[in-house]
Amino acid sequence: MAELRDDRGIWRRGLVLAAFSVLISLIMIFHAQLPNDVGNLGSLTETFLPWLGVAVPVLLAAALFRRSATALIAILLAAVVWANLFGGLVTDKSGSGGNLTVATHNVDADNADPRGTAESVAKSGADVLALTELKGSAVPVYEKALADTYKYHSVEGTVGVWSKYPLTASSPVDIKMGWTRAMRATVDTAHGQVAVFVAHLPSVRVKLNAGFTANQRDNSADALGAALAAEPLKKVVLLGDLNGTMNDRALSEVTSQMRSTQGAAGDGFGFSWPAQFPMARIDQIMVRGITPEASWTLPRTGSDHLPVAARLKV
């Protein structure tokens, strides 16, 4: 300790580490101000924002090696900012209540085992199951595999909903894509009617010459948000692959009026994509007028996404 006190260089060393730590803190604090005009930089950063926390232990080790007090203080700031933004997601917030279990899964159009995938998600115990990216030729396979578990189902385009409760008023939802990738149905649960929306927003890509190409996704999100805003039923559930996280400002027309079950009642971040090493929660279960009790990911199937489930109190 005396050696450290006498080492006046501890304040001069590690200035680059300190500057990098401050930069990470500023990005996390002011991510909403990052511009989206060039390559949708803001949305790209917000998609993987929690992963900035990985830099903290790396920088900490470097600062200790350099014996830099300046860098340690800056890294402490970054750690506090990350904990303030994401610390609540690390703990288990799940409860024991709930009277309706729902699940959603992007089954992958190129899935080589649709029957096995259907049987796997049916074991989740979900009362209502939404499937997206349904390939036309595979729909009969899913219907047959799920028939014993779910008495009612409806498929619109490449999305579908299976339910243990009666389904009524099933119809496609126009999300400005030119073909059907979203739908709405009324589920007559034992605790009242629930409007269930199933959506698969357009994919996004990261390209060296164009950045984060998400304009079509953003337009579809706005259209989905308008449909949700116009829903007359007070109890609403949104299931599906939104190709975006809750942090992404481009989904604000949806996220501003719906509550994420993972954020409210999940255990951890609940990353769902890619299945082999999940890095982002782009498969969402969101509610309005309903209380989330628990949210979790399901075992991997033949898809490149993980299924996600939630237990709700209607």
Domain boundaries, the chain: 2-90, 100-313
Q: What is the pLDDT along the chain (314 residues), one digit of tens a residue?
A: 444 455 667 888 899 999 999 999 999 999 999 987 777 788 889 989 999 999 999 999 999 999 999 999 999 999 999 999 999 888 899 999 999 999 999 999 999 999 999 999 999 999 999 999 999 999 999 999 999 999 999 999 999 999 999 999 999 999 999 899 999 999 999 999 999 999 999 987 665 444 455 788 999 999 999 999 999 999 999 999 999 999 999 999 999 999 999 999 999 999 999 999 999 999 999 999 999 999 999 999 999 999 999 999 99
> 252-274: b or e for each residue (b if 16 or more CB lie within 10 Å)?
ebbbeebbbbbbbbbbebbbbbe
Distance CA 250, CA 215 (A): 9
Residues 6 or more apart whose CB falls under 8 angstroms from that of 87 comprise none
- pTM higher than the cut 0.75: yes
**How crowded is the C-beta side of 88, counted as CA atoms within 13 Å?**
6
Other CB atoms within 10 A of residue 52 CB? 20
Torsion-angle region of residue 39: left (phi > 0), alpha (psi -120 to 50) or beta?
A: left
The domain defined by 100-313 folds into Deoxyribonuclease I; Chain A (3.60.10)
